[in-house]
Amino acid sequence: MSSPPILADRIGKKFSRSLGHSLWHSAQDLGRRLVGRRPAPVLRAGEFWAVRDVSLTVAAGECLGLIGPNGAGKSTLLRMLGREYRPDAGRVELRGAVKSLIRLGHGLQPMYSGRENVYLKCAELGLSKRDTDARLDEIVAFAELEAALERPVKQYSDGMYARLEFAIATCMPIDVLLIDEVLAVSDVAFQLRCLERLETLKREGSALVFVSHSEMNLRQVADRCLLLFDGQAMAEGRPEAVLGKYYEAVGYFNRDLKSCGVLPARPPDASAGLDFPGPAPESLQAVPGQPLAFELEYRAERNFEFVELRLEFWNTAGLLVASTLAAGGRPCLTRGRGRFRVELPFLGLGAGIYDVAVSARAGGRNLAYKGAVRRIQVLQTACDRPGGFGVIEAHIRTAPSGKTF
């Protein structure tokens, strides 16, 4: 069995939050490479993970759609696949010729005319002048730039830039094509022609990775979708199913309630002799329907008896998804630092990222509220259909005809 044209295995990319940290860490990484060692795989001061622990494969003739909110890591992931960024963790394997459409106008020479850019970019694709001559009319007609072909491309609008770039990049079959929202600046008629061209490339065996916020475009051309949040893969599956998970995670289905003022706002953090430190630096990973256990710390200024603990789960849209009263009675918390263990026998949450809040009451008064003591990343790698926010266990029995339970 042949290997897929695109393979990424647990790849990650770190960035620094300031120029000073970036220069210092770059010098450290250079020193490590000079002695034959890889850069440090852990976060250092001032660093954050833009993409973390993402794996994917794309077969020949298949299109993978990347979706998620702005800042989720889609463009960073695409640039690692296109070898523009070196992964700080994991590995990327690409087989065959690769073409990227990531930054608008990135590959065009602004002082050259449209015609000159066609010949220049086609030469980069390996086409001879004779081959480009044969394709020129088709490229110009597809981009609808007959009237502007002799003008410098610096005079083109964003839409004209995108049309010319796309027409050149897809004028011939290519093994791997990476596309990042360059169609967003085009009109609907041109987008439809582009989707038809992408379908043609798929039939010719091209492997595509397509970043888009357009549900219409994704449903038309993507065979599978991968949902990213905070640089991590949250769900993968059929486009309509993963899009449903995305809309649920950001609270899209509940926006009509917000204008009515019905949704509860997250309370501010408060402490009356009892505090819960947090949030923890690392998020927990869990699977819907599976048990989950974690520990929480507390600091008490005095002893508290019969404390009622309540857990809340808030999604990234600020929606309170679920809450619970901790079973097992009302514990007594001793003065000083301590820990307690939370055990969830069945995690009834759909795929997404959730902040766990905790509140404490005793004697009819509130002792503490902490809005983010832990973050839980609920993963759903096999996504068959949208299933709502929660996962509910059900026992179904059958009875023979004429019998009752």
Question: Within a domain: residue 13?
Answer: yes
Amino acid in position 229: F
Closest CA relative to residue 183, chosen from 238, 141, 220, 128: 220
Q: How many domains does the chain have?
A: 2
pLDDT at 17 over 70: yes
Averaged pLDDT, 141-157: 91
252, 282, 317 — which closes off a domain?
252
Question: Within a domain: residue 401?
Answer: no
Averaged pLDDT, 328-348: 83
pLDDT of residue 6: 94
122 and 187 within one domain: yes
What is the per-residue pLDDT across 171-196, written as a single tens digit (0 to 9) for each?
888 899 999 877 766 677 888 888 89
247 and 199 within one domain: yes
Which one is predicted more confidently, 150 or 379?
150
241 and 312 within one domain: no
Contact 201, 59 (CB under 8 A): no
Alpha-carbon distance of 405 to 88, in angstroms, equals 59
What is the per-residue pLDDT across 240-266, written as a single tens digit (0 to 9) for each?
888 888 877 776 544 444 443 445 667
Count Cβ atoms within 10 A of the Cβ of residue 108 and give its class: 0-12 exposed, 13-18 middle, 19 or more buried: buried
141: number of Cβ within 10 Å: 11
pLDDT band at 403 (very low <50, low <70, confident <90, very high): low
> Residue 113 is encoded by which pair of tokens?
């005319």
Question: Within a domain: residue 400?
Answer: no
Question: Within a domain: residue 167?
Answer: yes
16 and 57 within one domain: yes
CATH code, 278: 2.70.50.60
What is the phi/psi pair of residue 296, to 5°? -125, 145
276 and 175 within one domain: no
pLDDT of residue 257: 42
Contact 164, 104 (CB under 8 A): no
167 and 106 within one domain: yes
pLDDT of residue 176: 93
302 and 213 within one domain: no
Alpha-carbon distance of 217 to 237, in angstroms, equals 16
297 and 186 within one domain: no
Averaged pLDDT, 24-52: 76
Which residue in this structure is represented by tokens 């590995």?
91
Cut 0.75: pTM above it: no
Q: Give the Å distances, CA to CA, from 358 to 284, 291, 296, 329.
A: 16, 19, 9, 16
196 and 135 within one domain: yes
39 and 136 within one domain: yes
What is the per-residue pLDDT across 210-250, written as a single tens digit (0 to 9) for each?
998 888 888 889 999 999 988 999 889 888 888 888 877 77
pLDDT of residue 126: 85
Question: Within a domain: residue 171?
Answer: yes
Which residues face 268 on adjacent strands? none
Question: Within a domain: residue 375?
Answer: yes
304 and 184 within one domain: no
Q: What is the 3-state secondary structure (H, E, C) of the chain?
A: CCCCCEEEEEEEEEEECCHHHHHHHHHHHHHHHHCCCCCCCCCCCCEEEEEEEEEEEECCCCEEEEECCCCCCHHHHHHHHCCCCCCCEEEEEECCCEEEECCCCCCCCCCCEHHHHHHHHHHHCCCCHHHHHHHHHHHHHHHCCHHHCCCEHHHCCHHHHHHHHHHHHCCCCCCEEEEECHHHHCCHHHHHHHHHHHHHHHHCCCEEEEECCCHHHHHHHCCEEEEEECCEEEEEECHHHHHHHHHHHCCHHHHHHHCCCCCCCCCCCEECCEECCCCCCCCEEECCCCCEEEEEEEEECCCECCCEEEEEEEECCCCEEEEEECCCCCCCECCEEEEEEEEECCCCCCCEEEEEEEEEEECCEEEEEEEEEEEEEECEEEECCCCCCCCCCCCCCCCCCCCCC
CATH code, 71: 3.40.50.300
Question: Within a domain: residue 281?
Answer: yes
Question: Within a domain: residue 260?
Answer: no
Omega within 30 of 0 (cis) for the link into 279 = yes
Residue 345 domain boundaries: 270-383
108 and 68 within one domain: yes
Which one is predicted more confidently, 163 or 19?
163
What is the phi/psi pair of residue 340, to 5°? -135, 155
What is the phi/psi pair of residue 66, to 5°? -105, 125
Closest CA relative to residue 289, chosen from 396, 390, 175: 390
Closest CA relative to residue 170, chosen from 259, 219, 233, 100: 100
What is the per-residue pLDDT across 382-395, written as a single tens digit (0 to 9) for each?
554 445 555 555 55
Angle between helices 129-143 and 114-124 in degrees, nearest 10: 130
